[in-house]
Structure 1
Amino acid sequence: MEQRRAYGKSHWYHETQSRSQHSDVLPLVPEAAHVEDRFLLGLQLPESLQRDCTPWLNACRNLAKELFPDEVAVSRLRTFSAYDRLSSALTVAQVCGVQRLCNHYAARLAPLPGPDSSRESNHRLAQITQYARQLASSPSVITPLARQQLDDVGLTTYDIILINQIVGFVGFQSRVVAIFQAQQGQPVRWIPGMPTQEDAAAEGFQATESEWLSDLPVVDARYASKTQAQSLLRWQSQPTLSALAPLLAHEETILDCLGQLIGTLPANPPLHALAALVPARINGSVSCFNHYSAQWQGAGGLPDAIRNGDRAVQAWCHQYPREQAVTQAIGLLTRAPDRFSPAQLASLTEHGVSEEQSITLLAWSALFGWLNRLRIALRSERQPA
């Protein structure tokens, strides 16, 4: 695994080996640790957008508090420390390249003491960092073997659920921040040399029917705590979360916040399925792609075109400029959030998608990217993602 050395945790590309000595090096933007809004990270929205977006943004803020509290108590079942959480978040922010997130997570990570400098701790941290980077940048390469490697360095089922939720959330956060920065006309600033995400291989998408299963232990309602049982009962009936809920209920407060986000983010029915199909094809989530292919109610042939890749999509969209603008905007946001610019939002508006609809549609695509990663990372060895 590639390791990039830096003098202190103040840099975006933090080292994966822990050190016992304390560093006086300050983060690049130390004030970024103290923003009041830990989801939008100081980004101020116009009043009209605040009114429309407050319900689902509040759910996002609750998620940020649950995933990244200021203090974390570790135990035998939950070994993921505050350092582990913020280190993983910074890794994902680096992959996405959105500067606002890199500043925030680097500033929060900087003052925390790292793990001890033993070989075992270094190996554990390196494995966590590698997993987070791969799931964020190329989710289709994640296999049950990668999850087994987390188990081999001591992560529990609770830890594995948590790291996947962290990677999904920070990737979602990066894309939502990129959307609102574009809405405000802010210039694109990406890190030079950062590659864009490549699409998943086409082979897995040849099957038009697939069932998603996991081989991780689920929360059994008969033995669950009261809060776990309530969360499981509530979200297992929600179509978007029905398959994942028995696993995610291991961390029921995070599941509750995710469910609230799904319930408060407005849907745009004519294009909602498209917001799911494009990221599912890019990320490699076959089961999600097949599910939303059946829900597409627009002009015939688009799901098959997306299944067959960009060239087929371009040919299909020749007579459908609105769908072309939507697929291009979602594709760029999925592959390279740091390069998403005002031009993509302007293109949607030019083709009849209002600003509010554009923002929620793109936010849904980012949320589907989160759910894609959960399905890919938590699947069983013999099942498609």
Structure 2
Amino acid sequence: MVGGGQLARMTHEAGIPLGIRFKLLSDTPQDSAAQAVGDVIVGDYRDLETLRAFARGCDVITFDHEHVPTEHLKALQAEGIPVRPGPDALVHAQDKGVMRARLTELGVPCPRHRIVTDPADVTRFAEEGAGYPVVLKTVRGGYDGKGVWVVDSEAAISGAADPFKAGVPVLAEEKVPFTRELAANVVRSPHGQAVAYPVVESIQVGGVCDTVIAPAPGLDPALSVRTQELALRIAKELDVIGHLAVELFETASGEVLVNELAMRPHNSGHWTQDGAVTSQFANHVRAVLDLPLGDPRPRAKWTVMANVLGGDYPDMYQGYLHCMARDPGLKIHMYGKDVKPGRKVGHVNVYGDDLADVRERARHAADYLRGTITE
């Protein structure tokens, strides 16, 4: 697996019961997965020779992020190294402009959008129907709210951080007046088997996922099925191998628009570790190895995942004592990462039959571990 973050750490964990030998290409020995994996190569994923050396002896290469250069992945593939998902699929998660063009070609509902080259181009986009505010995104490299600007006028572009100064293409999108954000997680194998998890509600705070509720409360059953079918169709049309997360906006009219794609295990699927028969991580491992996929059904009526973000940690051990004693049913997953304000350092999962109770328990644990509450 290329990338040493928490997604690699949890994917490795899912492969242990199957006896999978897991090799990791990590930026540093201190990365989340590098602390847990036995076979670690430290190197730069942007360097083709490093990738070639890493790939020797591997049956298949997969990823915990989308940032490996597309041309490098094509070179590995041309040399007979299985890359899953392949570069022709992964580019749709790497490049938002490519993604929007392809989804539009497939008739997938998306926000109004256009590649723009300067502030005047943004104004033309707004005046031709999108209106202000406009969302500007760098087509490559952005995540968790990074590389994203919301502007309400041409003047506001240079008044904040001017995205055009970065020297990369910029995608302009209408700011959708959505009612909430949803996510559809699916997994597809090389032989074409695919499974879909329940559609979830994803609650964002400051551009970062804060809470996920599975399944999405009050979601119309027909819309839920259509959304799962949409995600499965996208996976098939783009030839995705492995896990695909489709992030969506639900609108007041009861429809969905596709916001983003991720072709690897995803924060909106962390609830599956404890709340589904087969987790997203286990099914990603199965898919990239072309094994039969596992059951994606939920174990309980409700599961809530709450992210633990970096804050004040006076004593993590005391935090564990409090949370575990208060709630023996709580599942804590920490990533071994250095604590920085706002950084994802872990998550908690809680499941049960009462949504209000499950949400309160997850929120309390995440806030206590972060240090924002003390009792």
Larger relative contact order (CA 8 Å, sep ≥ 6)? 1
- Normalised TM-score (structure 1): 0.27
Report which of the two has the higher share of helix. 1
Report which of the two has the higher share of strand. 2
- Normalised TM-score (structure 2): 0.27
